[in-house]
Amino acid sequence: MLFLEDPVRFLFFTGKGGVGKTSIACATAVHLAGSGRSVLLVSTDPASNVGQVFETSIGNTITPVPGVPGLNAVEIDPDSAAEQYRERIIGPVRGVLPEADIASITEQLAGSCTVEVASFNEFTDFLSDSSATAGYDHVIFDTAPTGHTLRLLRLPGDWSGFLDAGGEASCLGPMSGLDKHRQTYANAVAALTDPTRTRLVLVARAQPTSLGEAERTASELAEIGIHATNLVVNAVLPWDAVGDDPLAAAIREREQRALAELSGELASLPRDEIGLKPGNLVGLKALRTLLTRATEVAVASTRDQDRPDLPNLNALVEELAPAGHGLIMCMGKGGVGKTTIAAALAVGLADLGHTVHLTTTDPAAHLDKTISATPELPNLTISRVDPDQAIRDYRAHVMATKGASLDEAGRAALAEDLMSPCNSEIAVFQQFSHLVNRAARSFVVMDTAPTGHTLLLMDTTGAYDRDIRRSMTPGVKFKTPLMRLQDPDYTHIVLVTLPETTPVLEATQLSQDLVRADITPWAWVINQTLSATETTSPLLRRRATFEAEPIRAVKQLTTRLAAVPYLAEEPVGVERLRKLAGQAMVNSEP
């Protein structure tokens, strides 16, 4: 593997959700440790599943990985990091300041911005604090899906620039201590931009959307001085797995066409291709074979299991339609197909004559690659919450309103405060709130960011709700976005997953997080099910045998479930989305 040749100290793996970053990062860590190196594996994904891959408990403290001498791992836990961060601020003044002041400080530290900054500080410590990584030959970062990672990698420069400009992080309350991290941030920037110390590996699948996301990531990182060094294309269907199977032939042809059309910076990067494996990449045995070319496939029978009798997406559309309006949020791990499922639901509702707005809160999503506005469906509109545009609009609005009555010095101070990176979360939340309220008069179908990023948005929603409740006069009726999300007649949460162990576990954890916030998932969708197809490829049939248990697990969690078979054609465009929504997963013999 080219990305493993002469490995540098820091290795970053990033890319669109679901492309296999965690598996490749874990396999790389095992490989390097097996060659006698001392390795630390760090997950910066708020929805980390490193522990699941290693079949052990990792958590937010550096932990030895059983069975791999020389390998330690840690999962940065945003909530734990934020709690420790708050205590470092509040602890020294507890018992010194009046209780009212302590309560005010605590509230100022309750938002998602604090969670982000706390996680960010832990991340930069691993890049710049020699004591945190002393004794390790290599530090490997398994990052969150692209949008979240781009924000994380921008933060060292954003905070350095903000502090260099003399900014005071008023949105964080009494956090002048940020200035103490100035050198840490500067060291992190230096490490990230030095190719002799940091290797940034873009991970993608052989799909146009995934490769396009990798290209966009490379461009955006280059703008801040961080340059991708390698491209890894994961889970490529081997030519000898095709045979005379039409589905396998279609997948192989689609993947090879996408790779042949590579251009720009991606085409010039050293590239590795990792073949699709027959089983789940969980456990040391599987990880040790991931970076090898050998693929052993036990011959599977034509029908290894009965096909579960599950309805299609149109069954969900028919159940949603009578209300005439409402919010439909597709949530889940990155790469499970949330964008496709959201677009198919939107088309289905629009076909029934309803007014539908399809949108995404995923910084890395591109709905226009899946569907575009068409004269055929004039009642369907499409938008995207763009964080960069959101912050520009927010700053302009605040300056035009709050800043209108200030003198020149006051406006200058306000403009400086608005440059704080924290304001990005506020800006995105405002656009999210507008979309939530819009569902009172029409259907709003929302493709959300991967799990970790969405949970941060939910945290902001909860903080806003608490603030409104405190400030409202008793007896006055009001509706906050959180109240809308908690209303089962207004909001329908659709959890999207794949028929694989790890995506189902992560969706289950997300479901539990939502329930704790009094938000009950409405339905589950299992996407890309091979067991619903007539494939004759031994490799694909073998993979289909592993779907039975995850599907059974989902059926125990919900009474409303739909499934979508793996399609030979990429579900792009209105007609293919209609086809996707109408295909049921039913018992039948080939």
434: Cβ contacts below 8 Å, ≥ 6 apart: none
* Catalytic pick among 14, 15, 16, 18: 18
Q: How far apart are CA 202 and CA 357, in angstroms?
A: 33
- pLDDT band for position 304 (cuts 50, 70, 90): very low
Indicate if 23 belongs to the active site: yes
Mean pLDDT value of segment 466-480: 63
Same domain for 252 and 172: yes
Position 410 in a domain: no
* Catalytic pick among 15, 16, 17, 20: 20
Report how many domains make up the chain: 2
Strand locations in 297-409, DSSP E?
326-331, 356-360, 380-382
Indicate if 16 belongs to the active site: no
Q: How far apart are CA 418 and CA 401, in angstroms?
A: 13
Position 298 in a domain: no
Residue 463's pLDDT is what? Answer: 61
Which of 422, 467, 462, 464 shows the shortest CA–CA distance to 170? 422
Last residue of a domain, one of 242, 275, 290: 290
pLDDT one-digit tens code per residue, 58-104:
988 899 999 999 999 998 877 777 777 778 778 887 887 788 777 76
Same domain for 360 and 283: no
Position 87 in a domain: yes
* Catalytic pick among 14, 17, 43, 45: 45
Structural domain harbouring 328: 313-387+432-582
Residue 422's pLDDT is what? Answer: 60
Position 421 in a domain: no
Same domain for 241 and 126: yes
Alpha carbon of residue 360 to chain centroid: 12
Mean pLDDT value of segment 16-31: 89
* Catalytic pick among 14, 15, 16, 21: 21
Above 50 in pLDDT, residue 298?
A: no
- Tell me the pLDDT of the chain averaged across its residues: 81
Indicate if 502 belongs to the active site: yes
Same domain for 77 and 200: yes
- pLDDT band for position 363 (cuts 50, 70, 90): low
Indicate if 45 belongs to the active site: yes
Indicate if 403 belongs to the active site: no
Last residue of a domain, one of 231, 257, 290: 290
Task: Take residue 582 and report the two structure tokens written for it.
Answer: 């109408």
* Catalytic pick among 15, 17, 22, 28: 22
Indicate if 272 belongs to the active site: no
Residue 114's pLDDT is what? Answer: 67
Position 406 in a domain: no
Position 308 in a domain: no
Position 467 in a domain: yes
pLDDT one-digit tens code per residue, 256-290:
999 999 988 889 999 999 999 988 788 899 899 99
pLDDT one-digit tens code per residue, 539-573:
999 999 989 999 999 999 999 999 999 888 888 88
Q: How far apart are CA 239 and CA 232, in angstroms?
A: 18
Above 70 in pLDDT, residue 255?
A: yes
Indicate if 268 belongs to the active site: no
